[in-house]
Amino acid sequence: MAGRGDSSVDCGCAVVGQAGGEAAATAQRRVLARTASVCPVCLGPAPAERVAVGDTVLLVKRCPEHGEFSVPVWRGEPAFTGWVRPKIPTARRGPGTERVLGCPNDCGLCPDHGQHTCTLLIEVTQRCNLRCPVCFASAGQGERGERGERQSGGVGGEPDGGRSDERREDDARASLPGDDPTLGELVSRLAVLRPRAGDANIQLSGGEPTLRDDLPQLVTAVRGLGYPFVQLNTNGLRLAREAGYAARLAAAGLDSVFLQFDGPDDVATARLRGLPLHAVKVRAVEACAAAGLGVVLVCTVARGVNDHCLGDIVRFGLARVPVVRGAHFQPVSFFGRYEGFGAPEGVSGGVCGDAPGVVSAGADDRAGVRTLDDRREAARITQPEVMRAVRDQTGGLIPLSHLHPPGCEHAQCSFSGTFMAHEDGRLEPAGGACCGTGGNGGSGGKGGGSGAIDPAPIPAALGAERARAFVRRQWRAPEPASAATAGTVGGMPAAPRDDFERFLARAGRRFTVSGMAFQDAWTLDTERLRGCCIHVAAPDGRMVPFCAWNLTSAGGTPLHRNGAPIGVGCAGDGEGSEGAGVADGGPIGSTEGEGA
């Protein structure tokens, strides 16, 4: 971790294989742009630069108290400078927070934010029936027995279907629903935000949302507010274990399941989730298929843990089209809870089982055991590395030229490609970026190759509108007709009877490969944050960009999750309807006009 004053911390930025070592690397350093960030230690403001060293781009920043930090944010092709999708910033809808402390402290949304809401995420519980070594929300914090075992608890008992006989008193977070916001509170929060969020897609998250027995009623209530799409972010345990549960959610109006799915076997799930759960995940997919719910497989990618498994995950999904609508990869980010696993010394991939076991924070720095900081950076993987892994591990089935920057959030935040999945295993590109706005696929713009599209700026609001429409169209299960209205033969769709049915059948076989690189205290770039379109519906009435909401210091202190920073207030709409005040006594009201 950083020292004081003029100290410098290099978080894995060495360029491997360069002749001349450190001198050569220094000579190749080139400042691409200046931006702003935060200090990972104190979360205070830190001026930052994007610095190119060979084909690696570092975010380099300096805290006046804790020194300099550098961390890779981009490694290799597609080229960082070509991965662009410029947008014209769009003013927020309605009131929000004041411009007081600067980004990222003023989130809520402040007048400097440049993108409308595509997905509005609401945390419906902090309880969880797992205690994953990696967790945005640090959910299930009380679920560790005095001997250090992870306890499952909660709905469905143990992963093997047995009863949790070893659960202890400190395993309370999975069994105290009184900690949850009430159904009325959640519905009221989303009702108040409806004018500002517009036709945002809703994601129900947590903790583990299925621990709420009133989840079907919540889904129905959210649809009743006019939100056009409702998705469940879940580990899938209850879907797999409780007969009829997926059907109840579908009947209530649920459209899609964002299913935690970290690998093709138990090795990766045991490392990332603390338990071998692959069979449970497969049963969850089957339950969703029976209920007519679309499924997106969501993989947290960590170097040396499951970065060699991405092609297998794509193939798993393709074999289950049309119920599986896509595979979504999220490079591991370090906020909330992270318990210190990383790649073994000198290994950047290979067999999952080769990596060392989980090491808890605070473990002694014994010989052969890395410090928590070193292990964190060993596990870090950048977005282009994930893209190349998908390309290579699918045998070129998904070339880089068919993966595009987003038309909604900042270009450096994500990638996507949409394909037509043929029965013989072929993939045919089915358009440009996920939002229908194109992008140059990292080829450098006009004339840059088969995937090149001239990246003319578009209004950010248009990108958000197209992204919302794409998610609603692609991530919910196709209508029964699109699996061929002629019915089924042996449980599989029958052959289409005419051109119209053939069109519907093809539409149902669209499959999306996408990824999103969330920012933590080391990688946070305020330019990226101001373009965020995934906003959390905070209990105090604010809408906070996802990465800012989850941002925690190296010591675990959150910036926003416990309430707004002192001095940041939520502006009212003139009628006192914008929620309860702000934690820490922050002022209510704003001098900013609507849409400022």
pLDDT, tens digit (0-9, with 9 covering 90-100), for 316-347: 999 999 999 999 999 999 887 777 665 444 43
Provide the token pair at 265. 């076997």
Compare 442 and 50 and report the one with higher pLDDT.
Answer: 50
Output the pLDDT for position 573: 43
Residue 300 in this model has a pLDDT that exceeds 60:
yes
More confident residue, 25 or 339: 339
Distances (CA, A) of 212 to 246, 373, 490: 14, 36, 37
- State the chain's maximal CA–CA distance in angstroms: 73
3-state secondary structure of 49: strand
Q: Give the gyration radius of the chain's Cα atoms.
A: 23
Q: How many Å from the N-terminal Cα to the C-terminal Cα in the chain? A: 40
**pLDDT over 50 (residue 489):** no
| Residues in the chain, total | 596
pLDDT of 136 above 70? yes
pLDDT category at 164 given cuts 50, 70, 90 is very low
477 vs 66: which has the higher pLDDT: 66
Q: What is the mean pLDDT of residues 286-313?
A: 96
Query: Which position has the higher pLDDT, 155 or 292?
Result: 292
Angle at 307 between CA 303 and CA 311, to 5 degrees: 170
Q: Where are the strands (E) in 180-305, listed by range? A: 201-205, 230-234, 256-260, 294-301
CA distance 487 to 481: 9
Q: Which two tokens stand for residue 495?
A: 């052959």
* Contact residues for 383 (Cβ-Cβ < 8 A; gap 6+): 74, 331, 412, 414, 415, 515, 517
Q: What integer pLDDT is reported at residue 93 of this predicted model?
A: 86
Quickly state the pLDDT bin for 307 (edges 50, 70, 90).
very high
Question: How many angstroms separate the CA atoms of 412 and 323, rounded?
Answer: 29
Residue 9 has pLDDT above 50, yes or no: no
Q: Does the structure show a pLDDT above 80 at 429?
A: yes
| pLDDT at 372 (0 to 100) | 66
Range with the poorest average pLDDT among 23-32, 81-90, 410-419, 526-535 = 23-32
Q: Given pLDDT bands bounded at 50, 70 and 90, which one contains residue 474?
A: confident
Mean pLDDT throughout 136-165? 41
The 3-state DSSP class for residue 271 equals: helix
Average pLDDT for 102-110: 94
Beta pairing, strands 543-545 & 534-537: antiparallel
For residue 494, give the DSSP letter. Answer: P
Residue 595 pLDDT exceeds 50: no
Residues 168 and 192 sit within 8 Å (Cβ to Cβ): no
Long-range contacts, stretch 145-152, CB < 8 angstroms, 24+ apart: 145/170, 145/171, 146/170, 148/360, 150/274, 150/275, 152/237, 152/275
When mean pLDDT is compared across 106-115, 147-156, 246-255, 547-556, the lowest value belongs to 147-156
pLDDT of residue 571: 58
pLDDT score recorded for residue 494: 54
Residue 44 · residue 63 · CB < 8 Å: yes
* β-pair type (488-489, 324-331): unpaired
Q: Which long-range contacts (CB under 8 A, 24 or more apart) does 476-480 make?
A: 476/229, 476/255, 476/256, 476/293, 476/294, 476/325, 477/255, 477/256, 477/288, 477/292, 477/293, 477/294, 477/322, 477/323, 477/325, 478/294, 478/322, 478/504, 478/507, 478/508, 479/504, 479/508, 480/292
CB of 419 closer than 8 Å to CB of 394 = no
570: confidence class by pLDDT, cuts 50, 70, 90: low
Helix axes 266-273, 278-291, angle to 10 degrees: 100
pLDDT band at 156 (very low <50, low <70, confident <90, very high): very low
Lowest-pLDDT choice from 43-47, 67-71, 113-117, 433-437: 433-437
Least confident of 26-30, 35-39, 224-228, 268-272: 26-30
pLDDT for residue 148 is more than 60: no
CA distances from 295 to 244, 255, 289, 322, 551 (A): 17, 9, 8, 9, 28
